[in-house]
Amino acid sequence: MKKPAFGLAVAASLAVMSASAADLPSRKEPPPVYIPPPPVFTWTGIYVGLNLGGGWLDRYDYGNWFYPALTAPNAGGVIGGAQIGYNYQFTPLFVAGVETDFQGSSVGGGNQLFGATRSVGWFGTVRGRAGVSLLNSRLLLYGTGGFAYGDLRLNYGWLGSQARTGTGWTVGGGLEYAFLPNWSAKVEYLYANFGANYDPIYIAPVIVEIQQRAHLNTVRAGVNYRFNWLLAPPGPSMAGY
């Protein structure tokens, strides 16, 4: 009888010790807190922005019978406006997109031969953009080109004035730097060539003007805000961590 009683006593003691040990605080360190990696920067998304700069006309082409390309002196002015566009980052290096902008303009000047003035009251473009991203994708170097249109005004004083909306093309390039996740600043150059037909104006019996083309150069700085939550590719999967 002594042996079974002794075994029961030992078993009871072991059970009490196990229960006491379970109540003691664990000496294991808590698992490390998961800190997700910072999101990968991407140029993908719709953006809107504002710009301000200057422009000048390197020459006017006049469709005259006897003077096919009279040249006006360089005529400069201020430009400013807004842009909206969409970029898609195909690879860490290659970015492409589309952009349209609309600009107010004070660019204009006169022709010394006749005392006439020409000006561009406003203009706009619809362009494609393509470039390479550097510095962890934060710096975008791009080229751009596409359709251009603008308001071309002729003023001959007492002979009258005319305004037409001319159409043509544009080409240029620039650089854009993302200084915050959704904000970027850019500097851009554009050359635009657009023209329109006008009613004949008889300045002299042998000169009839029928067409004008403007050769407009612009340099502008701007800032963009990108909505990368819209139409942006999904981020990396959590299952990979």
| Kind of pairing between the strands at 202-204 and 183-197 | unpaired
Structure tokens given for 150: 């603008």
Higher pLDDT, 64 or 142: 142
Distance CA 77, CA 159 (A): 25
pLDDT digit string (tens) for 126-156? 999 999 999 988 999 999 999 999 998 877 6
Give the per-residue pLDDT at 64. Answer: 45
Give the per-residue pLDDT at 107. Answer: 92
Which residue in this structure is represented by tokens 């470039």?
131
Give the per-residue pLDDT at 94. Answer: 96
Side chain identity, residue 202: Y
Domains by residue range for the chain, with CATH: 45-68+77-227 (2.40.160.20)
